[in-house]
Structures are given as structure tokens and as C-alpha cells.
Structure 1
Amino acid sequence: MKIRNDIIKVYKDVHIWVGIISGLMLFIAFYAGAITMFEKPLERWATPPSALAPPPPIERTEALLQAVFASHPQAAKHYLVVVRPSAEAPARVIWREPGKTRREFTEYGASFAADGSLQVEKLAKAPVAQLVDTLHQLVGLPFPDAVARQIMGAVALMYAVALVSGLIIVLPTLVKDFLALRIGKNIKRMWMDVHNALGIVSLPFHLVMALTSVVFAFHTPFYAVQEKVVYPHGLPWGQHEPAPLPGPDEYPLPADALLRSVEAQLPGFEVYSFIFREDQGQLEASVTGLDVRHGTRGRTQASTHLNPYTGEVDPHDLPGRMESWDAAVNAFFMLHFGSYGGNAMRWLYLVMGLAGALLFYTGNLLWIESRRRKQRDGLVPAQKRSAQVLGCLTVGVSLGCVIGISATLAATKWLPGRVDDVALWHQGLYYAFFAAAVAWAFARGAARGADELLRLAALASLLVPLGSLAGVWGIGGTWNHPGAGFAVDAVALAAVPVFLMLARYTRKRMADGHTDSVWSTAGGSADPAAEGADARAVT
């Protein structure tokens, strides 16, 4: 395909600058997003074990509810009946009590003790999985949601522009260079091949991520337009006649009867829980679960309305039963979350997410190599300050994200019981390590900083399974759920030799690579005066 050189140059400039501006934030979004593909196993692995007695059979849920309401009447306003209790939801009945602000709440679970008395416990679901998801959603920015989400939307738009412009750049040589990987002394050519191969192979995935991220960031105005254009007479499910108030002799069905009713109406739908809310004297309910045959709007489950008095399900919110427009909206969420195809698709999305992070990393390397002042007549020039700064930023931000996430995960088995606000400590640990890594990269330079921070990343990753091992032995109040979250420890352990290998390659590059590079310890000074003097000597 033939495209004029002046057009290619315009698109190349657009691609470079848009990529440079958004690349580091996108690295954080993709690295954290890859981890969130297994958010539930991570949450299960990180949640301390409950001291509650084993949940009673679902047939005894009504007796448990009566005991809870007698002791905690506020629980009747909003409570959860868990069909399949797990480490992160260990009780048959769970409810929330409000905190000081609208977003703060405390979660409690209940069971019957061995003597038949009511046993209540403040639940301690681990917040670390939510932190990683928030880093993904807000591209790592420590700003309020309303501010960071708008920036994320702008980054997603730039991301889409970078994808389109990058595709136009490679079109003329696509057939010849597709999947070519020329490893040799031409470092720029090698990174160009890696960057192009990653971009072309994963282009559909990246287009989906870019477009869906824009929708998520600006969903409020999008939904307002949708309501005006698609539903000019109001949302269809908002026009339904309200259900008649129950009579004095009508009572909600027991949980086991609701479960049988839902399973009969929704074959193949695995029920996770029932959620109940009291509104003006009437009980409203919804059912959550998953049908693995259909992709879902939620990351890990789907939810729809349920009549608690008759057991009738309103399936219009469930994948596979939606109207065409709602199915299209559901597809945006499904494609972004990878909530289809089961664990095989989740592993694929994890790999694609890590490859996406590498795509942005290699883009920065290309910019630096393209602007490298080459050695002439035996003189080693100082590199431009812009190349040195971007090299330090690339190392500090990328490895700071990796180290910060590993460090806060490693602290998961040690924080509960030692600190009051576990979520705040997790957040503080991440940003402390992140900021320290960026500062270290600037203090030590891109080359030395990369080597040292990669070794620190290996250590932080090793501490994750060591924390679980400490839990097996009961050291220092740590714990470990038998069989739960084994994949978390295994993946963290597998990352250790990878980081050490990259550190070894970095040291080799420092010693044997181009001396006229920001990745060489034999390169020129970062001092602006020396840079100018060396530049004049070269020219």
C-alpha cells in the first residue's frame, strides 16, 4: 500500500506525541488491569479467615434472619443472603451499617454458634483487590474519582488516536515487516519490530479497550443522550406498573424456596446470592449469579430483579435475554472486562494486558533511541535532557507501579489486626513505593535505576508467596486459606526469575551496549553545561 511520505510524517508525529503523553498512564492501567482479571481469587486469597461458625444450611436461613433482625433491627433495611459462602463472604446472612459518610459502611455477618446462639462478626474483606482495580480505572492517579475519571477519558481518547495513527504508519510496510523480529546491533530496529508486532497482533483488543474506556469515563452524558434518543418516552422498565403491596398475610418466600424457583426459571444460571431492600414497607429483591454461556456486564457476576413474594424473576437485565440495544451496551462491558469464555478468556486477557503494558514501554524506548546522539570520532556525547528525563520516567513509573502493587500485596497477610484502616495502609504503601521508585530512577539514572529497581521488583514479588508461607506456619498472626488463591502465589513466584533475568540483561546492556545511550553507565553527563559542550564537540 502506497501512502505519501508527508502524510506518513504527520501521522508519525501525532502517534509519537500522543503516545508519549499517555503511555506511562496506560502502562499502569494495563498492568493493573491484567491483575484484575482474577479479582475474586485475589480478594479470596487476601481476606483474613472468619471466626464465625460454619454457615447453617440454606433451609435454616429464615431462623437466622429472625435472630439477626431481633438483635440488629437495622439489618432488615438492606441485607444479603449468600447461597455459596466463600472466604470473602463467609456468612449466610450479611448486612451493612452506615459510617460517618455516605460511602463509608461496616459489613457484618451472622451465623449460629455451637450452642445455637446468634454469632455476629464484623467482616474484614480485603481491600487490596479494589485498590488494584481503582489504579486500573483511574490510570494510577491519586485524585478524586470525578477528576481522575475525566483525565482517564482524555487518555483513552489519545490512546485511540495513537492506535489509528500507528496503523497508518505501518501500512506501507505491513506485509514485509509483519512479525519480523530483527535482533542485532540496531537496537532501534529491534524495539521497532517488537512494538509493531505487539501493536498489530493485539490491535482489535486495544481498539476495544480504548473505545470502552471512553464510554466508561463519559458514561453520564452518554446515558443522558441514550435516554433522549433511544428511550424518548422514558426507560421501558421504569414504566412498569408498581407491584401491589403485599397483604397482611403475605410473607417473602424462604431462601431455599427462592433458590428452587430461580433455578427452575433460569436453567444454567448459578445463583450466588439474594439481595433484599425494604422500601416503604415492601421488600424488594434481586438475584446475583453467573451463566457461563453468556458474557456479563459485571466483572464477575450478573444481577436482575426478583419478586421475593412469588419468586418470579424479571430477566430483562440478564445476558442472553436482553433487548438488542441493551445487549449492545452489555457487549461494551463484556468485551472490556473479559467476562465471557470463562477462565481461558481471563488468562488470555491477562496476557494481552501485560503485552499492552509492554507496548507502551517499548514506545518510549523507541522515542529515546530515535533521539540518541550517536558517538562520532571516539567522542561520547551527552544525551539530550529530554531523553534522559523520559528514560528515568519510563523506568520509575513502570517499575514503580510493578513494585508498588507487589509490595502492597505482600503486606496483605500482615496488616489485618495490626492497623485500624487497612485500606488506607494499602493505598499508602502503593504510592510510597511508587514515588520512591520514581525518585530513585532520577537519582540513579535510567540505566542503574532500571537494574536496581528490577531486583527490588523481584524481591517484592517473592515476598507475596513468602507471606502465604508464613501463614501456613502461623508466623506473626498471618494466615493462609488452604487451596484458596494458590494462583496468586504461583504467578508472583513465577515473576521473580523474570525480573531477575531482565535485571541481568539490563546490566549486560549497561556494560556492552552503545556507550552513547541513556542505558549505558559509560554515557555522557546529564549536566546541561556538559551536554552543550559535548554537543558542540560532536558537531
Structure 2
Amino acid sequence: MKVRTDIVKMYKEIHGWVGIVSGLALFIAFYAGAITMFEEPLQRWATPPAQLAPPVPLERTQELIDRVLAAHPEAADDYQVHLQTGPERPARMTWETDLPGGGGHHEHEIWYAALSPDGALQVTRQGPSPVAELVDVLHQQVGLPFPHEVAMPIMGAVALLYTIAIVSGLIVLLPSLVKDLFAVRIGRNVKRMWLDVHNVLGLFSLPFHLIMALTAIIFAFHDQFYDAQGAAFGGAPPPEAAVAGPAPEADRSVLGPMGVTARLAEQAPGFQPVEIGYGVGRNGIPTVRVSGRDERYGLRGPTLGFAELDPYTGDLTGTDYMPGHQDGWSATVTSFFALHFGNFGGAPVRWSYFLLGIAGAFLFYTGNLLWIESRRRRERKAGAVQQTRSTKVLAVLTVGVPLGCVAGISVTIAAAKPFGASATEGLHSVVYYAVFLAFTGWALVRGASRAGSELLAATALAALSVPATTLLTMGLHPPVVPIVDFLSLILAFALLIMFRRTALRARGGPADSVWANTPQLAATQQG
């Protein structure tokens, strides 16, 4: 395809600068996002064995509920019955209480209930490890340690830049699309090799990146879109207190878990319920909400869809978020969530999204390498004998930020088992950001060339700390999900290969490169 040279040049500049501005944040989002494809296995791996008695059989769940509500009446406002239990769901029944914090912010405390073999009620706050939730927050907020309402608009701006980078990069690639489609030329021309790798990764994952960019924008500005929709097509909903509804039926009891699952199986046989949420809604009306999945359809949440039932009859009353039972508009909205989360098609799609996420992170890394190499050659042609400060700073950040992210996530995951029941999201966050800032600071002090090989070796050790933790804690924390250790070993092996290649590059690469350990500035080559 013929595209004018001046147009290609303009879009090349746009692609380069937009990629530089957003690339490091996108690396964190994609790497953490790839890990969230296995959020539930990671939660099972990290969660310590429960100190509660085994979950009661589903047939005895109503007995457990009655005992809990008698001892903790505050739980009646909102509690969950878990139909599928395991390390990540260690109890049949849970509920939350608010912990007031400063500035009107409220944190939640989760309680878990069981019945001991002698019938005594057991209640504890020990639940699933929060490390998987932290990784998801890093993904959502592109690694920013800000409150969610502050980080999300920034993430949206990054997603907009990401979209511009995709479009401009495609225009740049069009003239040589056929000739260079499958070309990855490995040789002495390092810039050409990285360009080929960058182009191949970007082109073959183009649909995936378009989906990620557009859905990320929707998530970031979700509230603004709905406010605009409300202003354009209808007024704001009436206040909750003003909504009329039928009074609670005093002579009828709310349907228990066995009744809910039986009625749901009659009405939606393909829907697999995972959790039943009981609560009290407007005007004291009981509510029943069932979370579950249907492998044939995409889901509104990362792993689950939702259905609302009549609390007395079990009839379906709300299916806007229920896979396979939505109207056209709801199904369309859900498709944006499903395409972003990759929660359709089972394990093959999850593995595909995982690999595409890792490839996406590498795409942004190679983009930075290309900018640095291009700037080095441009500066040398202009007669410069030293790298400019901007080139050096970007090289340092290209080393420190991605490796700090990878090492920080590995170390905080490894810390989950030693932390045990004392683990909190705040504690895991401290571990992650301590490692991340230490790596970035080390790169700033040592420079890109020395820090590159040093931090790659340290990151490989951080990845190895995950299976090492499994071995060291086998007595107290038997391994249940080997995939976490297996993937960490593969990561460590890949990092060691990169360490060797980086060390060779530092010793034998161009003397005026920011990656050279002992640059020899040849001023005599000018002119």
C-alpha cells in the first residue's frame, strides 16, 4: 500500500512520542493483567489452610445461617453463602462489616463462619490471601499508588494515548507490511532486530490491543459515560428513599440455599451458581442475588455473572447481568467486559490472553528500546559525542520500571505464604512498592548499562523466590496449585537468558551506546 513519505514520517513521530509517554505504564498494566488471568489459582496458591472446621454440607447451610444471625444479627443486612468452597472460599458463609476510616473512606472486614464437629459456631476473620487483589489493582491503575478515583482518569488518559499509538503505528507499518510481515532479522543490527520483533508482535496482536485500548477507555470513564447517557436520554433516577416497593411479607420466609439452587436449575439449567448473596434492600425488602457462570457466554464480572431472584418464590427478577438471559443492550455492554477480562471460552481463551498480555508488555519494552536506539544514531549523526540526558533517563527508566514491576510482583506473591493469616492488601502493597522503588532507584544510581544486567539477575532471583517459598513452607502450607511455581520457574529461566544477552551487549556493543559499560567517546569521528 502506498502512503506518502511525509505522512509516514509524521505518524512515526506521533507513534514514537505517544509510545514513550505511555509505554512504561502500559507495561505494568499488561504484565499485571496477564497474571490476573489466573487470579483464582493464585488466590488458592497463596491462601493459608483455613483454621475453621470444614464447610458444612449444603443441606445444613440453613442451620449455619440461623446460628450466625442469632449471634451476629448485623450480618443479616448482607451475607453470602458459598456453593463452591476451597482455599479461596474457606467457609460456607461470609459477611462484611465496615471499618470507618479517615475522610469518609470505609474499609471492609470479612468474617467467615463454620460449625465445628460438635455443632459449636466458629467465626474468624481469616480469609483468602489479598495478593491476587493487589495484582488486579496494579493492572487497573497502571501501577499508580493513588486512590482509585484519582488513578482511573489517569489510566483513561494512558488508554487514549495507547489508542493513538496503535493507529499511528499501523499507518507507519503499512508501506512495508507485505515485505516485512514475517521478517525477524537477527544479527549485528540490533535496532533492525528489535524493530522486526516490535512490528510482528504489534501486528499479530492488533485486534487484542484494539480491544484492550477501547475497553480500558470505557472502564476509566464509565461514570462519565453513564452521566452523559442519563442527561441525553432521561433524567436521574429518583432517590432510593423515594422508590416505593412492596413491604416485606411477614408470613413468608425467604427461600433457603437449597430452594434457591433448585429454582435456578429449573429456570436456567446452563447457569452454574457459585455464590448466593442475601441482603436487605429498599424499605427493608429482602433480596437474593446469585453469582455464577455459564461457559457458553461472556461474563459481566472478571469471573462471574449475576442474577436477581424473588426472595420468596425464587423466580428470576433481574437478568441484566446474567449470561445467556440478557436483552440485546445488556449483552452488548457485557461483551465489552468479557472481551477485556477474557472470561469466555474457558481455559484456551485464558491462556491466550495470558500470552497476549505478556507479549503486549514486551511490545512496550521493545518500543522504548527502538526509541533509544534511534535517538542514539540521530545524535551521533548530528555530531554529539555524548548521549543526551533525555536518552539516558529513558534508558534508566526502561530498565528500572519494568524489572521493578516484575520483581515486585514476584516478591509480594512469594511473601504471601510466610505472611499467612496476617497478610493484608496494605502489607502486600508495601512489599511491592518497596521492591519497585528500590529497583528504579538502583537503575538511576548505577545507570542503564550496569543496572541492566544487575537487575535482571535480581529479578530472576525474585522469580525463583516463589517456588522457593513453596518448598520452605510445605509443612504449614501444602502446595495445591503448581502452575504458579511452574510459571515462576519459566520466568526465571527467561530472565537469566536476558541477563546473559544484556551482559554481552554491555561488553561488545557500540561504544557510544547507553547500554555500553565503558563508553569510549570518539570525538575524532566527527566530520
Question: What secondary structure sits across from 1:371 in the alignment?
Answer: helix
Letter in 2 for 1:366: L
- The two structures, once aligned, show a CA RMSD in angstroms of 2.2
Q: What does 1:245-264 align with in structure 2 at a 5 Å threshold?
A: 245-264=247-266
- 1:260-283 residue CA offsets vs partner (Å, 9 max, x unmatched): 111111111111011011233321
The answer on whether the counterparts of 1:373 and 1:516 sit within 8 Å (CA) in structure 2 is no
Instruction: Look up the SS of the partner of 2:51 in the other structure.
Output: coil
Name the counterpart of 2:367: 363
1:501 maps onto 2:497 in alignment: yes
Structure 2 CA distance for aligned equivalents of residues 438 and 235 of structure 1 = 48
Q: Which digits, 9 at most, give the CA deviation of each residue in 1:441-486, with x for residues without a partner?
A: 1222212211111111111111111111222133xxxx23x43x22
Q: Do the aligned residues in 2 keep the contact of 1:381 with 1:524 (CA within 8 Å)?
A: no
- Equivalent of 1:406 in 410, 419, 428: 410
Deviation at 1:401, TM superposition (A): 0.5
- Partners in 2 of 1:297 and 1:497 — Cα distance? 36
**Paired AA for residue 289 in structure 2:** S
Match in the other structure for 1:385: 389
Structure 2 match to 1:510: 506
2:336 to 329, 332, 335: 332
- The aligned length equals 518
1:521 aligns with 2:521: no
1:176 to 174, 179, 182: 179
**Structure 1 residue 374: Cα displacement:** 8.6
User: What residue identity is the alignment partner of 1:11?
Assistant: Y
The alpha carbon displacement at 1:247 in A equals 3.0
| Aligned residue identity for 2:155 | M
Write the distance in 1 (CA, Å) between the matches of 2:442 and 2:129: 30
Does structure 2 retain, via aligned residues, the 8 Å contact 1:382–1:523? no
C-alpha distance in 2 between matches for 1:497 and 1:403: 14
- Decide which of 299, 306, 311 is 1:308's aligned counterpart: 311
Partner of 1:293: 296
Measured after TM superposition, the shift of residue 257 of structure 1 is: 1.3
Q: Distance in 2 between matches of 1:328 and 1:375?
A: 50
In the alignment, what sits opposite 1:538?
526
Shift of 1:19: 0.6
Distance 1:323 1:234 in 2: 22
Q: How does 1:118-157 map to 2 (within 5 A)?
A: 118-157=121-160
Tell me the SS of whatever aligns to 2:473: helix
Give the structure 1 partner of residue 16 of structure 2.
16
Please report how far the alpha carbon of residue 321 of structure 1 lies from its aligned counterpart in structure 2 after TM superposition. 2.0
In structure 1, C-alpha distance between the alignment counterparts of 2:208 and 2:176, rounded to whole Å: 22
Q: In the alignment, which residue of structure 1 is the partner of 2:56? A: 56
Deviations 1:493-521 (A, max 9, x none): 22111111110111111122222211111
The 3-state SS of whatever aligns with 2:405 is helix
How far off is 1:233 after superposition?
A: 7.0
Counterparts of residues 236-251 of structure 1 (less than 5 Å): 244-251=246-253
**Contact conserved, 2:263 with 2:315, CA < 8 A, in 1?**
yes
Native 8 Å contact 2:89 2:127 kept in 1: no
Conserved in 1, the CA contact under 8 Å of 2:78 and 2:96?
Answer: yes
**Cα deviations across residues 12-35 of structure 1 (Å, max 9, x unaligned)?**
111111110110101111011100
- Distance in 1 of aligned mates of 2:90 and 2:122: 13
Q: Which amino acid aligns with 1:433?
A: V
The answer to whether the 8 Å contact 2:80/2:275 transfers is yes
Alignment of 1:9-48 (within 5 A): 9-48=9-48
Does the aligned pair in 2 maintain the 1:47–1:124 contact within 8 Å? yes
Rounded Cα–Cα distance in structure 1 between residues aligned with 2:389 and 2:89: 52
Between 1:93-102 and 1:404-413, the stretch displaced more is 93-102
Distance 1:342 1:203 in 2: 22
2:107 match: 104
Find the counterpart in structure 1 of residue 219 from structure 2: 216
Q: Which amino acid aligns with 2:44?
A: R
User: How big is the shift at 1:228?
Assistant: 4.0
C-alpha distance in structure 1 between counterparts of 2:333 and 2:495, whole Å: 39
Cα distance in 2, alignment partners of residues 513 and 400 from structure 1: 24
Tell me the SS of whatever aligns to 2:100. coil
Name the CA shift for 1:321/1:535 in 2 (closer, same or farther; >3 Å).
farther
* Aligned counterparts of 2:376 and 2:370: Cα–Cα separation in 1: 10
- The answer to whether the 8 Å contact 1:44/1:87 transfers is yes
Contact 2:91 2:112 in 1 (8 A): yes
Separation (CA, whole Å) in 2 of partners of 1:535 and 1:223: 60
> d(CA) in 2 for partners of 1:338 and 1:134?
17
2:228 corresponds to: 225
Tell me which amino acid in the other structure corresponds to 2:435: F
Structure 1, 24-33 or 248-257: larger mean CA deviation: 248-257
Deviation at 1:524, TM superposition (A): 4.5
Q: Which amino acid aligns with 1:20?
A: I
SS in structure 2 at match of 1:518 = coil
Partner residue, 1:345: 349
Give me the TM-score of the superposition, normalised by structure 1: 0.92
Q: Is the 8 A contact 1:383 1:524 kept in 2?
A: no
Q: Is the 8 A contact 2:31 2:361 kept in 1?
A: yes
Please state if 1:75 is matched with 2:75.
yes
1:5 corresponds to which residue? 5
Aligned partner letter, 2:132:
A
Unpaired runs of 5+ residues, structure 1, are: 526-533
What is the TM-score when the length of structure 2 is the normalising length? 0.94
Given candidates 429, 437, 440, the residue that maps to 1:438 is 440
Please tell me whether the aligned partners of residues 8 and 168 of structure 1 are also in contact (alpha carbons under 8 angstroms).
Answer: yes
Structure 2: give runs of 5+ residues left out of the alignment.
Answer: none
Aligned counterparts of 1:78 and 1:26: Cα–Cα separation in 2:
37
